Each structure stands twice: as structure tokens, then as C-alpha cells.
Structure 1
Amino acid sequence: MSDVWRLRSRGCWGEAARLLEVDANDPGSALERTAVLIEQCMFTSSGWSEAEDALRAAEALARTDEQRGAAACERGHLAYASTVLGARDRADEARAALGRGAALLALDSPNRPLLDFRRGLISEHLSHNAPAARVAYRRAHAGATEAGDDLLCSFTWRHLAGLAFQDGDLAEARHGFTESLRLREQLGYLVGVAPALTALADVESEVEAARLRAEAARLVQLLGGIPVWLSNQLAPT
């Protein structure tokens, strides 16, 4: 487990990004730093300018189609985050960037599963096209499973479960949410555990749901109110 992962998983994105500045001229490190700062935006709804600056630096360093495609994937994700969190509507930019990433990345690229997942997010939350989202999530899940990417699998499980929940398939939803939580706890992805707990609470009995939400609230408080959007949901009324 790297120092960057330990910091990132606990919501210390600024510290993680500073560690990656040591190799600031390396395209891979620049992309990883960008991803860390975009994740900070997703969890805190702040740091947009810093993430944009890091992304532009990564784009400038990209030399191969793989690197350019990965950078386009990050641009799409930043634009998506800005849109869904209400910072600024960048939906068209998100779609265009992920389309560019799809054109640049080879079909067997290790970045394909992440790209597929993010295209699923666009389909579900910006285009409101659940069938297209499900196809993209399943493709991402298959790729992540084959690659042994448990973190990405924790996201694909959660979003596939969310679609199952919308369809009224509580058994499938419960299975997916449980798997997502299991993987995040196993990985030590602390910032992602509270969202997984609250998602699972939606398909559990009233008593169990209350316990899960209380545990999620405790974790959010421990992390200083992160994720901010979940902190607001769990705040006492």
C-alpha cells in the first residue's frame, strides 16, 4: 500500500497530491495527481481550480494516444463532477471529453474499464438513460474484475445495484451494495465506506438501516464532514 493511497483513502488529497509533485514532469504521475485532486472535488465540492490546473499540466505532458486518452477521461470526469455537484454546467464538455477518450484508447487499454464506468455515469445522471448506463457499468465491471481492480469494482457494484433498486429488484440491489461495502472495507477506502453504508441502508429493514446510517454519520464526522453531500443528508433534522 503506497503512501499516496493511504492519504487518499483517508481524504487527505492535498497531502497525496504534494507527494506526487516530486515526479511532476512524468506523465503517469501527473495523471495520478490529477485524479487525486478530482476525487477531492467529488468528495468536498471544492478545489476545482487546483484540479483544472493539474489536468492542464497532465494534458501538456501527454505524448502517446494512451496518455492523451487517459487525460481526456480525467477531463470528462472533472466536467461531470462540476455538473452534478452544481459548480458549473459542463455536461457537453464531459460528453465530448469521454468520447475523445474512447477514440484514443485501444480496446484492450487498461484505462478502458474506468472510461466505460464514467460513460455510464454520464448516461445515468446527465442523459437519464438507465439502459445505456447499465450496459456501460456492466462492461466496466467485467473489465475491472478481469484486471483485479477492486476499487473500480466497488463503484460498478454500487451503481449497478442502484439501477436494480430503481427497478425494484431489492435482492439484486442488496447484493451489489453489500459487495461494494465489502470491497471498500477490505481495501481500507475509508472515504468511500460511509456512502456504501447509506446505499445499503436503503434496502435494509428499518432497524438495520438506522444502524447503518448511524455508522455512516460517525465516519463522516470522523473525516471532518466528508463527503460534504452525504454530511448534509445525514445531518440531524
Structure 2
Amino acid sequence: MLLDTPVRLGVQLRPQHVQYSDLREAVLRLEEMGVDILFNWDHFFPLFGEPDGLHFESWTMLGAWAEQTERVEFGALVNCNSYRNADLQADMARTLDHISAKHGVGRFIFGTGSGWFERDYDEYGYEFGTAGSRLNDLEGGLEKVTARWDRLNPQPTRRIPIMIGGKGEQKTLRFVARHANIWHSFVAPDELPHKLSVIERWAGTEERDTGDLVVSNELARRDESVADALYDAGTRLFTLGLDGPEWDYELVRGWLRWRDAKNA
């Protein structure tokens, strides 16, 4: 677990109930404000609010962000492994890496998970299966993605960071131990030590040193006391989900001040 890295703030712009122009403006403003990472999510319909409201697709949007931004890292929180062939995902990720490499090194983060939103599957013709089968598919997909990165020409500009979301101890945390550079969850501060111990046990099985693993957690509907406790438990990447079109920039400013105080 990486503790000597600076605290970073990622903002997830939920691509629902907004026009794309709202998202474009928010991306520019948040990068200028000093946010470290920008995320969207990988769904085809709103997750709450009007179920048939405005919504935009993840990966094509990330291509625009790669070109639009100069400094900020970006990705999906998180990509759904089920929606695209794994080798295609690898190629798309490598391409986003190169598009965003305006100073020589790409800025894309490959966040991924097994998927859960059944409507996406039903309406777009994917097999929903079971939680177990989707996790098995994620396991195979991660192996294919990392293998494909080694075979692409040109290869990625850097070792693309892999972010895995979830907390299941039998499969998900084993995938974290095997593949992840960033582990993202919503677990409470008092849960983190146990979950991290599970990751360490799986790391021993996988014969991998997870000393470079960054722990990530969510800030939405939490206050600074919870954030402090998450920090004390080892969290170094904090994400904040925002809804538009009236993005709460004052809330972001408050968390940026908290981040900077931690890094002082």
C-alpha cells in the first residue's frame, strides 16, 4: 500500500441529465481549478432520476477529454468489462493514452469492473449472467488487456494504471492483488484495515508486491472527519461524484483546500 504519495482528488462528472456542452465546460473548469483526475461512468442510461433522461456514452467522451485537456488524468469510474471485447478495450485504452500524451506521457487510467446495471445489458443485447460469471469474465478480460498492451504497435507511452473497483474478498480483491495499481471502493474507514489485509493475503498467493497500490475511496455525502479517517487508514485518492448541469464547484474547492492541507 502506497502511503508516501500525495493526496489526489478525482471528480466524477456523471454523464446523465446534462447536455454534452455542460460536460465540456465542466472539464475545462475543473482542470483549471486543479483537480487531479476526471472520471465519467460507463453506462447507457441514467442510474437515478428520470430513467430515460439525457445520457452519453463513456469511451467516446473520454476521447474528447483526452484531446481537450492538458494536465489532468482521466478515465471511467469504472469501465464495464462486459460491454466490449477485451482486446478492443486494450487498443482503445492505448489510443487514449497516446491522444492524451501532449507532454510525452499519457494520462489515461484504465478503471474497470465486472458490471451490474441490468438495464444496460438487456437493452444493448449483452448477456447479464450472474455476479459470478461476470467476475469470471472480468478475470479473463484483465489477462487479455494486459497481454494485448504488450503486443500493440505502438505500445502505450507508459504502464497504463489499472484501477479496479469493488470489495468482494473471494474474487475482486484477488484481481486487485494481481493486477491493480489503484483499488477503489466505498467502504467505511473501519472496514479498510480488514479489506487491505485480504488484499495482502491474496498478494502473497499471487506473488506480487502491492507496495505501490493506491487506495481510493468516495467523498460524496461524507464530511472531513470521515475523509480524515479514510486518510489515516491509508486512502490517498479521493473521488467526488457530481451531478450537473449545476455542478457544485464550491464543494470541489472545499475538498481541494482539504487536499492541499494534507499535502502541505
Greater share of strand: 2
Structure number with higher relative contact order (C-alpha < 8 Å, ≥ 6 residues apart): 2
Greater share of helix: 1
> Common fold, TM-score beyond 0.5?
no
Which range, TM-score by smaller chain? Answer: 0.3 to 0.5
